[in-house]
């Protein structure tokens, strides 16, 4: 067995067990629930809130208290938001609140971009967690469960926000906090405050996850130029830097939060669109899911340190999108202006980057790469069998 594969295996197997344990426990619970004919689409939110509650409980009273607090927090958040959602069906709405009105392309494509940006931004988490799935889990099943889970969960909150804004009308405060509090108090006085506190706790847990993810991205970016050993101190520094940059951005955007946040989501979408196109074409069309994992971590391996094909396709795809950008008051491209403010950059950058990457990838010896990937897989499976308990 080569030293690189052995080192990779020694790091990969413990990480797999450690990272997959909470997911496996949640999956077992979902299998039990599914037997009753129900599907819990909020598993991720329950996991995060449960982890947050378990941390607080374990810190305050030990392992037993943390275990009970984790269960309680997951159940409570589902019940509270369930009651709040039902309440929306019983409050009074002004006449004409839900009238369709006339179609306007600019706000439609603007909202389409926000939703697409939200959905695409989860690709990083999907690729991170799906690697711990058993080999017999198909790509289709992974896609279906992750897509519909995030889409329905995100759609639920987006619909809540739209309904609250429609209910408030001209009195909408721009953040939704006052509306959440007012509608929640229709259940009983003080319930709105409970909803806000639970939402804040959930936001804190997600923010912590994003801060950590941002730190790993920062470490990976620097490691592309200079070798970085991700020690505890390095991770603490990068998490702190990520948190500080996020805080500065949040404070700067607080005066006009919704418009600035909408612009931020659009900017994220612009960055993700050509990246998504390259990834999809590479996985489904070019390499068809065959990758030599150890080679990815070898800058002198068959993939190299830089993939010029993907980088060039990304840059050209992004450049093709620029004339179609419409980022509120920040920038409106000439093509978007000619279309009455409609931002259709999504439909430009995606095919341009995809087609270019496919053309550039015609020179890749996919058959040779597949043989290397298969040989590595066989070696890893043989090594894993040697490490199995008797």
252-305 pLDDT tens trace: 776 676 677 777 777 877 888 898 889 889 988 888 878 887 777 777 778 887
Question: Does some domain include residue 222?
Answer: no
Q: Given this model, what pLDDT does residue 33 score?
A: 54
Question: Does some domain include residue 111?
Answer: no
SS3 content of the chain, % helix, strand, coil (to 5): 75, 0, 25
Q: Given this model, what pLDDT does residue 5 score?
A: 47
Distances (CA, A) of 329 to 8, 114, 256, 295: 48, 16, 12, 45
The total number of structural domains that make up the chain: 1
Q: Given this model, what pLDDT does residue 316 score?
A: 95
Question: Does some domain include residue 143?
Answer: no
234-259 pLDDT tens trace: 888 888 888 888 888 777 776 676 67
Q: Given this model, what pLDDT does residue 161 score?
A: 78
54 burial via Cβ count (<10 Å: 0-12, 13-18, 19+): buried
Question: Does some domain include residue 295?
Answer: yes
Range of the domain at 301: 261-390
Tell me how far apart the alpha carbons of residues 30 and 24 are, in angstroms, rounded to a whole number: 10
| Number of other residues whose CB lies within 10 A of the CB of residue 243 | 16
Q: Given this model, what pLDDT does residue 229 score?
A: 81
Q: Given this model, what pLDDT does residue 51 score?
A: 75
Question: Does some domain include residue 291?
Answer: yes
Which residue, 320, 385, 384, is CA-closest to 351?
320
160-195 pLDDT tens trace: 777 887 788 777 776 677 888 888 888 888 888 888
Residues with pLDDT less than 50, the chain? 1-5, 8-9
Q: Given this model, what pLDDT does residue 311 score?
A: 92
Report whether 291 contacts 302 (CB < 8 A). no
Q: Given this model, what pLDDT does residue 16 score?
A: 54
Q: Given this model, what pLDDT does residue 154 score?
A: 73
Question: Does some domain include residue 274?
Answer: yes
Question: Does some domain include residue 185?
Answer: no
**HEC string for 304-341:** CCCCHHHHHHHHHHHHHHHHHCEECCCEECHHHHHCCC
Question: Does some domain include residue 347?
Answer: yes
């Amino acid at each position: 067995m080569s030293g690189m594969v052995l080192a990779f295996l020694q790091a990969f197997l413990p990480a797999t067990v450690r990272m997959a344990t909470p997911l496996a426990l949640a999956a077992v619970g979902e299998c039990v629930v599914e037997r009753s004919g129900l599907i819990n689409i909020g598993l991720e939110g329950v996991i995060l809130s449960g982890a947050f509650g378990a941390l607080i409980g374990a810190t305050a009273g030990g392992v037993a208290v943390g275990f009970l607090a984790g269960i309680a927090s997951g159940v409570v958040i589902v019940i509270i938001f369930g009651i709040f959602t039902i309440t929306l069906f019983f409050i009074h709405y002004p006449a004409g609140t839900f009238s369709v009105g006339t179609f306007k392309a600019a706000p439609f494509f603007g909202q389409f971009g926000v939703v697409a940006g939200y959905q695409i931004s989860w690709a990083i988490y999907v690729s991170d967690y799906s690697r711990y799935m058993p080999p017999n889990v198909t790509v289709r099943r992974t896609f279906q469960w992750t897509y519909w889970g995030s889409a329905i969960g995100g759609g639920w909150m987006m619909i809540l926000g739209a309904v609250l804004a429609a209910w408030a009308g001209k009195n909408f405060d721009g953040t939704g906090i006052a509306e959440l509090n007012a509608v929640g108090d229709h259940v009983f006085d003080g319930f709105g405050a409970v909803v806000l506190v639970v939402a804040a706790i959930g936001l804190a847990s997600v923010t912590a996850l994003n801060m950590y993810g941002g730190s790993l991205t920062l470490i990976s970016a620097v490691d592309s130029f200079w070798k970085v050993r991700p020690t505890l101190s390095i991770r603490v520094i990068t998490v702190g830097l990520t948190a500080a940059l996020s805080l500065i951005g949040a404070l700067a955007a607080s005066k006009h939060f919704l418009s600035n946040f909408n612009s931020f989501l659009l900017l994220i979408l612009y960055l993700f669109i050509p990246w998504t196109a390259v990834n999809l074409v590479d996985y489904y069309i070019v390499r068809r899911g065959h990758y030599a994992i150890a080679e990815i971590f070898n800058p002198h391996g068959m993939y190299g340190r830089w993939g010029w094909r993907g980088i060039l396709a990304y840059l050209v795809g992004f450049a093709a999108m620029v004339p179609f950008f419409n980022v509120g008051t920040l920038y409106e491209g000439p093509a978007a202006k000619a279309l009455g403010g409609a931002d259709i950059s999504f439909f430009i950058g995606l095919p341009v980057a995809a087609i270019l990457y496919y053309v550039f990838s015609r020179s890749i010896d996919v058959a040779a790469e597949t043989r290397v990937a298969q040989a590595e897989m066989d070696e890893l499976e043989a090594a894993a069998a040697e490490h199995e308990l008797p």
